[in-house]
Amino acid sequence: MQIIFGVLFHFIGGFASGSFYIPYKKVKGWAWESYWIVGGIFSWLIVPPLAAYLTIPNFSDIIASTSGSILTLTYFFGILWGIGGLTYGLGVRYLGVSLGSSIILGLSMVIGSILPSIYFQFFPQVGKDPFVVFLATEWGRTVMFGLLVCVVGIIVCGKAGVMKEREIKSAATDPHGMEVKTEYKFGLGLFVGIVSGVLSACFNFGLEAGKPMADAANALWKVANPAETGNFLFQNNVTYIVVLWGGLTTNFIWCMILNARNKTFGDYTKKSTPLLKNYIFSALAGTTWFLQFFFYGMGESKMGNGASSWILHMAFIILIANAWGLVLKEWSGVQKKTFYTLIAGILIIVASVLIVGYGNSLK
């Protein structure tokens, strides 16, 4: 039953993450950097402490009592993750919601799920699964196989992206034979996506670095609720605050640089745009983004395995993002072979989720 609830929470979190970029498409007349940082202020500064306040009494005391080295390392991983989050937005811009999310989050899933266990292989910690466990146990090998299947699905989705780009280049011409500009740029998007996929995995490392804060929240909850069994659903909410401070730092600096370079500071007060709607949709996107990790923390507390939780979380995001890509008709007009290649990639990723879930049930 714990596994079922864990998978359900991860699905809700994946739905939130796979859907968060949709409200941005309703923003009119603003540059990318303007609506990205407005949404980010809600994602990384306003909503996280509000969520902690509602779920963890005296959460600020936990942060204040945490050692400086833990806070620094957690914040540092947040900065690295912030670069990944920043380039995620660019990757989606150049590749589209479905393909961009498949490549970026797929890479993040692979790296974020494997590297922590490799780290714990050389620096053991109580309650953490070293990499040898994945190789020496049936459940671990099953999870690893599910991860391999997901990588295959990512490759197939990438193949569909290459096919789409070829079709766009051959079709995107005006009657005079001149190329029509499009934001879809597979080469640039792939490079940005790889950078984002690698650095986005640092969020998982940040959670591991800040685990003592989550453990403190869990301990306080157990003292206040001695009859309860299991772990505190919202224990990670305090850790998110510090990790996301790092993300805010990176994104704020870069967006301000872009505002200055592109002379778009005027977007925030531009009366020729629907200002109120732009702020509302940006805030909605930012809040929806945070909900992914709100539910991720709940799912991880039920499953008790960070690597498997990260795999499920990322796989669900990929599935939802691809579903939105179909709804938004990002693949309309492509040849049937290209479309079926995408569908095959999505189905392979679905299979990987089922395999990982089965592996966790064996544990």
Higher pLDDT, 302 or 212: 212
Q: What CA–CA distance (Å, rounded) separates 51 from 6?
A: 20
- Give 206's contacts (C-beta < 8 A, 6+ positions apart): 74, 77, 78, 81, 239, 242, 243, 246
Tokens of 145: 């196989």
Given this model, what pLDDT does residue 306 score?
A: 56
Secondary structure letter of residue 26 according to DSSP: G
Cα–Cα distance for residue pair 116/208, rounded to 1 Å: 8
Distance between CA atoms of residues 346 and 138, nearest Å: 26
Q: What are phi and psi of 179, to 5 degrees?
A: -70, 135
How far is C-alpha 259 from the chain's CA centre?
25
The average pLDDT across 104-122 equals 66
pTM: 0.73
- According to the model, what pLDDT value does residue 129 have? 65
Q: Which two tokens stand for residue 90?
A: 């660019």
Residues 320, 326, 328, CA angle at the centre, nearest 5°?
100
For the stretch 114-125, pLDDT in tens is: 666 676 666 666
Sequence-distant (6+) residues with CB within 8 A of 203 are 77, 78, 81, 84, 112, 243, 293
CA distance 205 to 209: 6
CB 325 within 8 A of CB 97: yes
| Residues contacting 73, CB < 8 A, separation 6+ | 209, 210
Q: What per-residue string of b and e applies to 217-246 under the rule 16 or more CB within 10 Å gives b?
A: bbebbeeeeeeeeebbbbbbbbbbbbbbbb
Residue 1 has pLDDT above 80, yes or no: no
The pLDDT tens digits for 233-256 are 788 899 999 999 999 999 999 999
Q: How far apart are CA 40 and CA 38, in angstroms?
A: 5
DSSP 27-44: --S--HHHHHHHHHHIII
pLDDT band at residue 88 using 50, 70 and 90 as cut-offs: confident
pLDDT digits (tens, 9 = 90+) for 179-213: 444 566 777 777 777 777 778 778 878 888 899 99
Q: What is the DSSP string of 136-159?
A: HSHHHHHHHHHHHHHHHHHHHHHH
Task: Read off the pLDDT of each residue in 27-54 and give the average, rounded to a whole number.
Answer: 94
Q: So where are the chain's domains?
A: 2-362
Instruction: Give the pLDDT confidence score for residue 180 in this predicted structure.
Output: 41
Q: Tens digits of per-residue pLDDT, 141-183?
A: 887 888 788 788 878 877 887 787 677 766 655 444 434 445 6
Outline where the chain has alpha helix (H).
2-19, 32-41, 47-55, 59-65, 68-95, 97-122, 131-136, 138-171, 186-200, 202-209, 211-224, 237-262, 275-303, 306-327, 336-362
Query: What's the DSSP call for residue 45?
Result: I
pLDDT for res 127: 59
In 262-273, which positions are buried (b, 16+ CB within 10 angstroms) versus exposed (e)?
eebeebbeeeeb
User: How many CB atoms lie under 10 A from the CB of residue 255?
Assistant: 23
pLDDT of 328 over the 90 cut: no
Q: Name the pLDDT band for 307 (thresholds 50, 70, 90).
A: low
Instruction: Say what the pLDDT of residue 312 is.
Output: 73
Q: What is the pLDDT of residue 280?
A: 97
